A and B are shown apart, each in its own frame.
Chain A
Amino acid sequence: MGETARLLVLVLPFAAAGLLAFVADHRLGARLNATTAGAALLAAVALLLFERPDVGIYFIVDDLNTAFVLLNCFVGFTTAVFSASYIAHELEIGRLTPTFLRFYHAMYQAMLGSMSLALLSNNVGLMWVGVEVATLVTVLMVGIYRTEPAIEAAWKYFILGSVGIALAFFGTILVYLAAQDALGEGMPALAWNRLLAAAPLFDPQLLDLAFVFLLVGYGTKVGLAPLHAWLPDAHAEGPTPISAVLSGLLLNVALFALLRFKLVMAGNPAALTPGPIMVTMGLLSLTFAALMLYRRRDIKRFFAYSSIEHMGITTFAFGMGGPLANFAGLLHMAMHSLTKSAIFMAVGHVAQVKGTQKIEALKGLGATHPILAWGFAVGVVAIAGLPPFGMFTSEFLVVSSTFARTPWLAIPLVLGLLVAFGVLTLRLVGVVFGPPEGPRTPVHASYVPMFAHLLLVLLAGIWLPDPLVRWFQTIAAQLG
């Protein structure tokens, strides 16, 4: 059963991508897109419930990647549902043509499939291929509007992304070389579980060098400062469903790759400890993004910087290490994915009805579109880290575990959180309240995905079910 589920998670999206490229009717395409994503979600749930397949040299299913796959498939599915109503509007106003929609749907599935590939692969080379394909596909999606800023964003993303890709690949080669004496040659030498088991025998200096390349390479994808330059543009100029999956999923997948290598590093006592580097980069991203938030005029760019901030917090937590901080990091990552994609769903519809992404033109949303305004407000309150939402729990855990171990690190952390909180509140008040501006045309929105995400975040804030806590605790313990 587990074997079949794993196969389905991997094969369904790619099969659908091939099929969707030939579906001319965009309504059918959108429906097929959402259905396949839903089926992949079911397969991911099955992966969790049934007995796990054996670890092979290509694929692995363990606690860590099951969590990521489930999150990925869930957000992939809800965003596909949201995307159906989003693109219908884009087609109506002529920003996209049916031909482009065919391309769009095929690429959407290809992206989901390659992310699952990266997550489920046991082979670090294959994992690299997955991250790589997902990146290149999103480059195409970001440029799909073919406006001047969209092409610039896609180009910047392409160049910085490729540099990241190249450096990560070089890092992978170095890992292979470091492991060569212990593991020999050929495909099994790239299997992650073997790398982990044999880590103490590796050449520590070569492993250090490898990690630097991997950190810079995959760190570019995570959007860690100072390697984040592509991220705000790519979020702002692409279609909003893509912004949602970029922020909610792709950044996580890159972080996941880093975590896999962090574990290998931790297994070798003579190699450098990756923790402090990750803590530094995390804090830098958090502080930088929090300071940049205030000056943003474009709402999608604004939330893109907020994504940098939260990826910073997550990286910080994983860098701190230990059961509590790892647990907090994992929870924070999941909460951020759910909340941020919900916010982008709200923002997508808001930008469509108002016809602009400029924040000052979005005033008075509460009066013109109350339901959207509610969704937006709840999302922003959650992302700002206020109770009773799940992000409050995770941020509280990150801060308190930091206080317990290295209090002085908590100062910049809390400072960054407070600054971001202040700006988010300011923008929230500005957008929801105030004199209504712009058109009042009713919106054909699908509210269900957005509110489903927010409900989950709310639930997680009030009550985390025991099995979930135990599951996350197991992962946190594995992450060391």
Chain B
Amino acid sequence: MPTLAFDLAHLLAGSMVVSSFVLLYQDRITGVLNVFAVQAVILALAVAFQAWFQDAPHLYVTALIALLVKGIVIPLALHRIVRELGIHREIEKVVGVGLTMLAGLALTALAVLVVLPVTAGAGRIGREDLAFALAVILLGLLMMITRRNAVTQVVGFVSLENGFVLAATGARGMPLVVEISTAFSILIAFIVFGIFLFRIRERFDTVDVHALERFRGD
């Protein structure tokens, strides 16, 4: 296995984890959106690299979609929504930054500890990529839990989805990846922007999910 390829794959997947951490401590929505766009670009690079490395040209489609939809369209649309709703202010956090970062570290360690021992048989690139991908997924979950804002929850969700695109492309020869990632991008674009945010805006004049939680189930 060529070592340069090996290092590059790890560099890209590792950068995704780092960008997930950067997402965690942003305290302004515009900051979150910019980091999110950067993460999508890194994802596109990582997927393109896998396409070249595995000699699987169809993965270039996934890379292109990641770049266009998640790197450009979604962040621009979210910026627009943020501007129009006037919510540049700080993001309300459920847990403090320090604690969130510690939790993030613990989750990353967990991902590595869970994946590496059980994948001793699998190819080395797939193996570490999988650990990084799981870390990105868990960090995305953490972001969804610790933020109250609908826009940042969406960003958390898409970053979580970035994690599984990374995992799927890292698994050599995995079928349906292109189809699923395409379908996902379209769904996210439609569902989230078209419907939820506008409805939430229409009813509450806020995109703070906290406002939605007055109704306790009884």
Residues on A close to B: CB < 8 A? 123, 125-126, 128-129, 136, 139-140, 143, 146-149, 151-152, 154-155, 158-159, 162-163, 166-167, 169-170, 173, 176-177, 180-181, 184-187, 189-190, 203, 205-206, 208-209, 232-233, 236, 295-298, 301
Contacts and interface: CB of A to CB of B under 8 A. Distances in A.
A139 B157 CA distance: 15
Contacts of A177: 119, 122, 126, 130, 171
B217 A129 contact: no
23 contacts: A129-B176, A129-B180, A129-B183, A148-B212, A152-B212, A163-B144, A163-B160, A170-B164, A173-B164, A173-B168, A177-B126, A177-B130, A177-B171, A185-B173, A187-B175, A187-B176, A203-B122, A205-B117, A205-B118, A236-B217, A296-B218, A301-B217, A301-B218
Nearest to B202: A146
B213 interface: yes
Contacts of A143: 195-196, 199
> What are the 7 A-B residue pairs with the smallest beta carbon separation, nearest first?
A185-B173, A205-B118, A152-B212, A125-B176, A187-B175, A149-B215, A297-B218
Contacts of B171: 173, 176-177, 180
A176 B213 CA distance: 39
Nearest to A174: B130
Contacts of A236: 217
B65 interface: no
Interface string B49-68: 00000000000000000000
A297 B218 CA distance: 6
Most chain B beta carbons < 10 A, residue from A126, A139, A152, A167: A152
Contact of A152 (B119, B168, B215, B218): B215
Contact of B176 (A126, A158, A162, A209): A126
Interface in B201-218: 202-204, 209, 212-215, 217-218
A205 B116 CA distance: 11
B96 interface: no
B43 to A, nearest CB: 15
B121 A181 contact: yes
A177 B130 CA distance: 10
A166 B176 contact: no
A158 B215 contact: no
A170 B180 contact: no
Given A151-B212, A170-B137, A173-B168, A146 B218 contact: no
Contacts of B199: 143, 146, 151
Contacts of A185: 172-174
B121 A148 contact: no
Most chain B beta carbons < 10 A, residue from A143, A185, A189, A295: A185
B114 interface: yes
B173 A189 contact: yes
B32 interface: no
Contacts of B180: 125, 128-129, 169
Contact of B118 (A151, A155, A167, A206): A206
